[in-house]
Amino acid sequence: MSAEDTRKEHNEDELKAVPEDALDPARSGRAGSERKPEAGSEKAEQAEPQAQSKQPEDDQGDREAGELEALQGQVAEQRELVLRTQAEMQNVRRRAEIDVDKARKFALEKFVKELLPIADSLEKAVESTEGKTSSDEVVASIREGAEMTLNLFMNSLEKFNVKQVNPVGEPFDPQLHEAMSMVPAPDAEPNSVVACIQKGYTLNERLVRPAMVVVARPDDSAKIDEQA
């Protein structure tokens, strides 16, 4: 065998050793495209659906948290409304009790006012007999009867917490007294009551009729001396 034949045979062996994919570019391109994806790309594709599935779960959790917060707010508002209603009902009940108590205490106020002229008349009858001689039996009996009737009447009024206001010698009180006049009274304290024209009355410590009084006038000369 010649050297040329040996070289040809050697070239043919090298061609046989080269893969067909390397000789055909189209085949090599298809083969590259048909290759399996790498492990990293498969993990990325698996992670993407997991991330997508996780997102709806997070949205649902946020929505439930918002609904829970809204419900808690409604419960707090209802609780506050109930407490406010209870407090208002207690105030209404307390005011009603006070009104009932006042109505019970002062229901007789108008009736007491109608009875006061009777007490005044009895007092005038007793006063009219003062200074009369005790030898006059008729006058004495009238006086005794008037005093007994007046005492019985006043005791009946006191049972219903009706009290008489007779402020002679006491300081003038505009809440209970009505000054009819002011007179000089050297022996009395200034602005004190020296005489009672008509006695006053209270019902359960509330004024029904003020006492008509005469008040001692302050001494003007003393004021002049103090100024001097």
148 shares its domain with 188: no
95 shares its domain with 142: no
Is there a domain that residue 61 lies in? no
Query: What dihedral do alpha carbons 35, 36, 39, 45 form, nearest 10°?
Result: 120
Q: Which two tokens stand for residue 93?
A: 């009940």
**Structural domain of residue 209, as residue ranges?**
161-218
Domains: count for the chain:
3
Is there a domain that residue 9 lies in? no
DSSP-derived 3-state class of residue 176? coil
Looking at residue 59, its pLDDT comes to 73
pLDDT tens digits in sequence order for the chain, 228 residues long: 555 566 666 666 655 555 554 445 545 444 444 555 455 555 555 555 555 555 666 677 778 888 888 888 889 889 999 999 999 999 999 988 888 888 877 888 899 999 999 999 999 988 887 766 656 777 788 888 889 999 999 999 999 999 999 999 999 999 999 999 999 988 888 999 999 999 999 999 899 999 999 999 887 644 434 443
Q: 163 - beta bridge partners?
A: 202
Q: Which two tokens stand for residue 210?
A: 């003020």
Phi first, then psi: what are they for 210, rounded to 5°?
-75, 155
Residue 125 near residue 142 (C-beta atoms within 8 A):
yes
84 shares its domain with 101: yes
Contacts of 73 (CB under 8 A, 6+ apart): none
Looking at residue 228, its pLDDT comes to 36
Is there a domain that residue 20 lies in? no
Is there a domain that residue 16 lies in? no
- What is the pTM assigned to this prediction? 0.56
Question: Residue 202 belongs to a domain with what CATH number?
Answer: 2.30.22.10
Looking at residue 221, its pLDDT comes to 47
Is there a domain that residue 129 lies in? yes
